[in-house]
Amino acid sequence: MNPTLAAAGMALTVLVTIGLAAYSSRLARTTGDFYVASRSVPAWWNASAISGEYLSAASFLGVAGLIMAGGADAVWFPVGYAVGYVLLLALVAAPLRRSGAYTLPDFCEARLRSSKVRLIASALVVLIGWLYVLPQLQGAGLALQILLDTPTWVGGLLVSITVLVVIVGGGMRSVTLVQGFQYWLKVVAIMVPVLFLLAAWRADASPSALTDAPPVFDDRTTVRIENPITVNVSEQLTLEAEGTVDGATVAGSLTWQPGQHTVADGTTLVFPAGATVPHLSSVPQLTGAGWGQPLQSGEEHTLYRTFALMFALFLGTMGLPHVLVRFYTNPDGRAARRTALVVIGLVGLFYLAPSVYGMLGRLYAPELLLTGRTDAVVLLLPQAAVGGLAGQWLTALVAAGAAAAFLATATGLTVTVAGVLSQDVVSKRVRDPIVSFRIAAAAAVLVPLLLGLVAESLPLARAVSLAFAVAAATFSPLLLLGIWWPKLTDAGAAAGLLLGGVMATAAIAISTLVPDLAGWPGALLSQPAAWAMPAALATMVGVSLRTAHRITPGVDRIMIRLHTPEAVAVQRTWTARGLR
């Protein structure tokens, strides 16, 4: 690998991002520019921008890593990420745009006439935003550590600084231009290497990735262990080691018997050609055939975990604040629907690639199954499979796409959180709305940066799925009922938001702090959306029915506004003027 080329690819992405932001900042003058780009973004470019911020580090790096380790079960991640937009298109996009709000809390207050519901929604927007930003910063740290051997905090810091430069200059107007460019960069960066990887695979004499044999080292392979690990060994294995293994200092030949073995950080392991790859204890030890079949991960209650994951991704997309705020930037509801439709195609196009990286990673970078760093497969595979100068240039291209992934999603999340903090917190002390927005942007990126310094890194796609779970348990039922059920009251909405938010957040906290929970408690807490969302929905309905006297005054007019197409509204206005 050539770290200079990789660094140049990432640096070029950052420079182009800052340049586009500087250009568009000259057009940002009003509050509307900073919050919703003056509601003038064309549907096709808005779709590119939405796709750019939606395809995060979890999509660019994490999905391929999960597919490499978990096989067919992990394919539900890209399916869920894409299908969620079908529900968004059918149920939410156009009515939400017609509401005329700037942010999701604005919609809550406009629909329910309640400052308390707005406050709860604001807190949830910030929580979901920070849950989502954190893995972007960790992913940036992982990429720079692998490509440039820098400390993990460096990547997060660089992303945070770039995000602030983009947002402070022109708000949503700058963000929209930048993210549209970043989507197309990511598509090129992940799809072009796929062509070379498939060509290298076809020319290789290696067996198919879907044989019954477990992954093996094709050549003599040296693996440097960066963090303490516990590995599972399926058959007797002789290797060389220098460091601490199973609590003893080793410098030379070593034989592992089947079972679990511990390896301390700083240890170097050398595996002979043809040796079966030991798996990290948390990585499923699947054969090729098992890797290609669903429900083979070996986890308890796999069927529930799979359906709960689908539930979280399908409904969580509908409740992601940084996605929803994008529909406010469309000129009208019809454009919002067109935007959502185009997004489905753009996101689907991108997700053709991760399965290829995951499959070929088991052939050309099997050591990642040992170290557990399967998130790095997209970055390492071009050099491992193609090699030579072509592999170095492809790695530089992938590095540029990875940088775009971190920046696009972190920027979208930060501008969303900043909008909420500005309106509900900072503006109470700072009267100038643009200055207030810029101060809020700094706070929005600083907190996850500090959390990233102390939080243990989770697999990227897993970390992002937690944000989806909170969104599914809170904003998803609120939007469904707020848009389609006129009897929703402020008391019902507040009760459901609080219950869903507390249940999902508590489950995430417990499953993260106690990752070894077994049986149904472990399954239910690791995937809470399947029970937290129905509980929140039932609570909203039940409390609303018991507080019918609190139904929003003038709710019929609000519902007509949300569901009347713009063409009908224009016709009615013209007819009224003609009668005059």
CATH code of the domain in which 328 resides: 1.20.1740.10
**Do 418 and 316 share a structural domain?**
yes
**Do 246 and 188 share a structural domain?**
no
**Do 439 and 319 share a structural domain?**
yes
Q: What pTM was computed for the model?
A: 0.80
The answer to whether residue 338 is domain-embedded is yes
**Do 337 and 194 share a structural domain?**
yes
Residue pair 456/138 in contact (Cβ under 8 Å)? The answer is no
Tally the C-alpha atoms within 13 A of residue 329's C-alpha that lie toward its C-beta: 32
**Do 249 and 161 share a structural domain?**
no
Residue pair 84/318 in contact (Cβ under 8 Å)? The answer is yes
Q: Which of 403, 436, 457 is the last residue of a domain?
A: 457
**Do 155 and 193 share a structural domain?**
yes
The answer to whether residue 171 is domain-embedded is yes
d(CA 112, CA 146): 49
The answer to whether residue 462 is domain-embedded is no
- Please give the torsion angle defined by the CA atoms of residues 26, 36, 316 and 498, in that order, rounded to the nearest 10 degrees: 120
The answer to whether residue 479 is domain-embedded is no
Phi-psi region of 252 (alpha: psi -120 to 50; beta: other; left: phi over 0): left
Residue pair 425/110 in contact (Cβ under 8 Å)? The answer is no
The answer to whether residue 547 is domain-embedded is no
The answer to whether residue 46 is domain-embedded is yes
What three-state secondary structure class fits 40? coil
The answer to whether residue 364 is domain-embedded is yes
**Do 96 and 171 share a structural domain?**
yes
Q: Output the tens digit of pLDDT for each of the chain's 580 residues.
A: 577 888 888 888 888 888 877 776 665 555 554 554 445 566 666 778 788 877 877 788 888 888 888 888 888 888 888 888 888 888 887 888 888 776 788 888 889 999 899 999 999 988 888 878 887 887 788 788 877 888 878 888 888 888 887 776 655 666 777 778 888 899 999 999 999 998 888 877 554 445 567 788 888 888 888 888 888 888 888 999 999 999 889 998 989 999 899 999 889 999 998 888 888 887 777 766 667 777 766 677 888 888 888 888 889 888 888 777 767 666 777 777 788 888 888 888 888 898 899 889 888 888 888 888 888 899 999 998 888 888 899 999 999 988 888 888 887 788 788 878 887 778 777 777 777 877 888 888 888 888 776 655 555 556 677 788 899 999 999 999 999 999 999 999 999 999 999 999 898 888 877 777 778 888 898 889 999 999 999 999 999 999 999 999 989 999 998 888 766 654 444 343 443 3
Beta-carbon contacts of 380 under 8 Å, excluding residues fewer than 6 positions away, are 1, 146, 365, 368, 395
The dihedrals phi and psi of 413, each to the nearest 5 degrees, come to -65, -40
Where in the sequence is the domain holding 225, given as residue range(s)? 221-276
- Alpha helices for 475-528 (secondary structure H): 475-484, 490-513, 519-526
As for how many domains the chain has, the answer is 2
The answer to whether residue 208 is domain-embedded is no
Q: Which of 398, 430, 457 is the last residue of a domain?
A: 457
Q: Which of 442, 457, 472 is the last residue of a domain?
A: 457
